[in-house]
Chain A
Amino acid sequence: AQKITQTQPGMFVQEKEAVTLDCTYDTSDPSYGLFWYKQPSSGEMIFLIYQGSYDQQNATEGRYSLNFQKARKSANLVISASQLGDSAMYFCAIGELGYSTLTFGKGTMLLVSP
């Protein structure tokens, strides 16, 4: 069974600052993928970034980067230069490679203030 833990129910950050959202995981699968999704108040889930368990380098996508520490089983999301539009729920998820099923964490609500 796979499990995702997001310990921060809410985070506040000022515009233009960087913020780190924490995610730890547990899995017995030898190969897996870690995902971050953003969910604005509209409800739609927006894919942000992915990290494969065998990827040597941390993933980056624009202002998003994933700080992957396999030994510690953590996959933190770093958002640089926060923008007001970044205010949303952020979900960390894990999936077994080759399958489409994702297990999500409880999420972190990020509020960006001017």
Chain B
Amino acid sequence: KAGVTQTPRYLIKTRGQQVTLSCSPISGHRSVSWYQQTPGQGLQFLFEYFSETQRNKGNFPGRFSGRQFSNSRSEMNVSTLELGDSALYLCASSLEPGPGNYNEQFFGPGTRLTVL
């Protein structure tokens, strides 16, 4: 079974530009979460999508947005990039969440974004 894939793996942008990152979950997984990892702030939750609906959102400005498609693939977009957006962006997929379930999240290799 193929794992979580993220494209591109590396990205270099300049301040003010926008960027779109893509995540393909494991086949059969309908929940996709995004995390930002920086040396200073560590791992921070961005959003969680399930069945094309955003179920949860972290404390990030509106420049960060995302969506999920009917095939469960997800994209996140960052507009008006700032130097502080340089980070490793990790996507994780899991099975359908439900009461009493724990959902092992399978992470992708990440997209390393550098903003110059």
CB distance from A75 to the nearest CB of B (A): 13
C-alpha gap A42/B107 in the complex (Å) = 12
Contact mask for chain B residues 102-116; partner A; CB cutoff 8 A; 1 contact, 0 none: 111111111010000
Within 8 A of B (CB), among A26-43: 31, 33, 35, 37, 42-43
Chain B residues near A91 (CB-CB < 8 A): 43
Contact size range, B = 20 to 34
Chain A: interface residue total (CB-CB under 8 A): 26
C-alpha gap A103/B90 in the complex (Å) = 14
Contact mask for chain B residues 12-28; partner A; CB cutoff 8 A; 1 contact, 0 none: 00000000000000000
Determine if A44 and B42 form an interchain contact, defined as CB atoms under 8 angstroms apart.
no
Chain B residues near A52 (CB-CB < 8 A): 102
Determine if B110 and A43 form an interchain contact, defined as CB atoms under 8 angstroms apart.
yes
Chain A residues near B44 (CB-CB < 8 A): 104
- Give the residue name and chain of the B residue nearest to A47 (CB): B104
Contact partner, A50, options B50, B102, B109, Cβ 8 Å:
B102
- Give the residue name and chain of the A residue nearest to B107 (CB): A45
Knowing A45-B90, A103-B45, A104-B43, say if A98 contacts B109 (CB, 8 Å): no
B61: CB under 8 A from chain A?
A: no
Chain B residues near A42 (CB-CB < 8 A): 109
- Which of B63-71, B72-80, B91-99 faces chain A? B91-99
Chain A residues near B108 (CB-CB < 8 A): 44
Chain A residues near B107 (CB-CB < 8 A): 37, 44-47
Contact partner, A106, options B42, B90, B92, B112, Cβ 8 Å:
B42
A-B contact pairs, 25 of them (CB 8 A): A31-B100, A42-B109, A43-B88, A46-B107, A47-B104, A50-B104, A52-B102, A93-B43, A97-B101, A97-B102, A98-B97, A98-B101, A99-B48, A99-B103, A100-B33, A100-B50, A100-B105, A101-B56, A102-B33, A102-B35, A102-B45, A104-B42, A105-B42, A106-B42, A107-B43
Residues in chain B within 8 A of chain A (CB atoms): 31, 33, 35, 42-45, 48, 50, 55-56, 88, 90, 92, 94, 97-110, 112
Residues in chain A within 8 A of chain B (CB atoms): 31, 33, 35, 37, 42-47, 50, 52, 91, 93, 95, 97-107
